[in-house]
Structure 1
């Protein structure tokens, strides 16, 4: 299981505004996970900004960012959708859709100007969103006696290991969250720390959202 970068999932999209040569570029960015979700968001923006000259878009989907699409929506070929797509790719994001709405101000920007404007507008949207790293962690359930609890808890704090709420019964079960590659080395450390007086069970590997 690999990690990947995306933006935080919210009910509302993030909105930014960029103005140049009297043209207004309104950017909306949102977390989506399917083609259908991306297309629905693009259509919603076109409906909301029906009076705009252009609603250009791009999206990237999948854990490997292998689904990519862009649309110039009437701008000269390659001057709008592709710069938006490149902004997403340069930030190594996936499961993201961006729509940049342009209200034409009467002054032509030229192909180079359009590329820069749409790219910059997309970057502003990305910078305004909360970016996260979906990072794999493996659950390791460790059961110890109360006599070892303080020692193990000190080790956990010292090593800055992520944990979930412990279970307290006749013994204590600590729920550790470890990068998959660290599981074996952490078990060796625990054996040394407790003289092998513990029981462990490896749980599922899942992704956790971390700020990036």
Structure 2
């Protein structure tokens, strides 16, 4: 599991990105469960994620951050990255970010992809 913390800070919200190889939907569920075993990730407001599975196609979950999973999925499709889950974590800072939150998701996924051989 690769974790990159403090990727973006904006109006009190903090963002991090995590990811790693998975096999199937069960692998995605296990990855999220492992991530949430870390106390600060369990307390995060959102753990939005996406993955393109070789044997099952695209899967995603916004975890309450509407549209975030789709943004992550589009970036994985462009990178042609399969069987790797990418999770963008947000700790809400009390101020709504509007559309800026999507730019922050993109920044997080880029940071992960830049450190991953694609």
TM-score by length of 2: 0.86
Contact 1:86 1:119 in 2 (8 A): no
Using the TM superposition, give the Cα deviation of residue 105 of structure 1 relative to its aligned residue in structure 2, in angstroms.
Answer: 2.0
Which runs of 5 or more structure 1 residues have no equivalent in the other structure? 1-12, 132-212
**1:49-88 paired onto structure 2 within 5 Å:** 49-62=41-54, 67-75=57-65, 77-78=66-67, 80-88=68-76
CA separation in 2, counterparts of 1:126 and 1:39? Answer: 21
Q: CA deviation at 1:68?
A: 0.5
> What SS does structure 2 have at the residue aligned with 1:93?
coil
- 1:99 is paired with a residue whose SS is strand
Name the CA distance, whole Å, in 1 between partners of 2:74 and 2:26.
21
Indicate the structure with greater strand content.
1
In the alignment, structure 1 residue 25 sits paired with structure 2 residue 12:
no
Work out which structure has the larger RCO, using CA pairs closer than 8 Å and 6 or more positions apart in sequence. 2
Is the contact made by 1:25 and 1:103 (CA closer than 8 Å) also made in structure 2?
yes
Shift of 1:108: 1.6
Cross-structure match for 1:130: 117
- Cα distance in structure 2, aligned partners of 1:60 and 1:28: 15
Which of 95, 114, 120 pairs up with 2:83? 95
For 2:106, which of 119, 124, 129 is the aligned residue?
Answer: 119
- Structure 2 unpaired stretches of 5+: none
Runs of 4+ displaced beyond 6 Å: none
SS at 1:98 equivalent: strand
How far does residue 62 in structure 1 lie from its aligned partner after superposition?
0.5
SS at 2:16 equivalent: strand
In 2: Cα distance, 1:126 partner to 1:28 partner: 10
**1:39 aligned to which of 26, 29, 52:** 29
1:106 Cα deviation (Å)?
2.4
Q: Between Structure 1 and Structure 2, how many residues are aligned?
A: 114
Distance 1:128 1:109 in 2: 27
